[in-house]
Amino acid sequence: VRGQETNLGNLTADANAFSLKKALSGTGDSEFIVSFKNGGGIRAQIGSVSSAGGSSEKLPPTANPDTGKTAGGVSLLDVENSLRFDNKLMAFETDAAGLKALLENGVTSWPNQGRFPQVGGISFSWNPDKPAGSRILDVSLIDTTGNVTLRLYDDGILQAGIPNKFQVVTLNFLANGGDGYSSKQIGDNFRYLLDNGKLSAIVDKATDFTAANVISNYTSGSLLLGEQQALRDYMQTFHSTKNVAFNAGDTTEALDTRIQNLSTRSDT
């Protein structure tokens, strides 16, 4: 998660995007939604790894008979261990140049950097051999099946006729400037996602988005939506039974499509 696309990174980024889409439902602003988070915020895998015989085979979550958890099931504890910080979700608006700036920051130090982005609603190609700040080449919006719906950048060139505004969902830590992200500089209309499915009033950019006394001013009796709850809601909506269980396997970097490292694969 600190250097390439992962299936868990995709899953939790998609869950955050789904939360914002629900909150924006009926406003007319839910068409172009991009989700990004830092790989360093994912603290543990969901599942297990077998090292028998010197291998590193990835296996489904193990059963816990004491709690009635079956093999392959995802428990609240699994989610809490993985997303241990339970950062709160924030939405803001930016343009295509702002999106590119966020992605450039995500790949400016590589590999094994906590800032490395895990993304939803967007795919991009990048070249680690280019100077930091000019590594992002292609950027496209994608649908839930990974198909390109709108090209924003092609070989580093901003495309004509694209929308002026995109809705972004991220963690309040990153919205506040954590891990070097310039969210406040390139974004506007910052709002918290609330656990009642709505958005808070616009939050003053001059404030600390992570400060408890600031947060309390914008909740209006509700609680902020955290990334743990967002993942739980998403899993219960789309993957609640064995028949519809999440089954997207992790791949090698050469087969990653959402985040394409051009030192290991060709650009599609």
pLDDT 10s digits, 148-185: 999 999 999 999 999 999 999 999 999 999 999 999 99
> With bands split at pLDDT 50, 70 and 90, how would you rate the model's confidence at 213?
confident
What single-letter amino acid sits at 106? G
Give CA separation, 268 vs 144, 155, 190, in Å.
17, 11, 33
What whole-number percentage of the chain has pLDDT above 70? 100
Percent composition of the chain: helix, strand, coil (DSSP 3-state, to 5): 30, 25, 50
Number of neighbouring beta carbons within 10 Å of residue 61: 18
* Averaged pLDDT of the chain: 94
Q: How far apart are CA 22 and CA 15, in angstroms?
A: 11
Average pLDDT over residues 101-106: 98
Report the pLDDT value the prediction gives residue 232, as an integer from 0 to 100.
97
Average pLDDT over residues 263-268: 95
What single-letter amino acid sits at 23? A
Characterise 251 by phi-psi region: left (phi > 0), alpha (psi -120 to 50), beta (else): beta
The answer on pLDDT for 89 being more than 90 is yes
**What sign does the dihedral 87-208-170-189 (CA atoms) show?**
positive
Report yes or no: 10 and 39 within 8 Å, Cβ to Cβ: no
Report the pLDDT value the prediction gives residue 18, as an integer from 0 to 100.
97
Q: How far apart are CA 120 and CA 132, in angstroms?
A: 23
Average pLDDT over residues 112-117: 95
Q: How far apart are CA 133 and CA 240, in angstroms?
A: 41
Report the pLDDT value the prediction gives residue 121, as an integer from 0 to 100.
97
Q: How far apart are CA 44 and CA 8, in angstroms?
A: 10
pLDDT digit string, tens, across residues 2-33: 999 999 999 999 999 999 999 999 777 778 99
Average pLDDT over residues 71-91: 95
Beta strands 117-120 and 188-192: pairing type? unpaired
Report the pLDDT value the prediction gives residue 199, as an integer from 0 to 100.
95
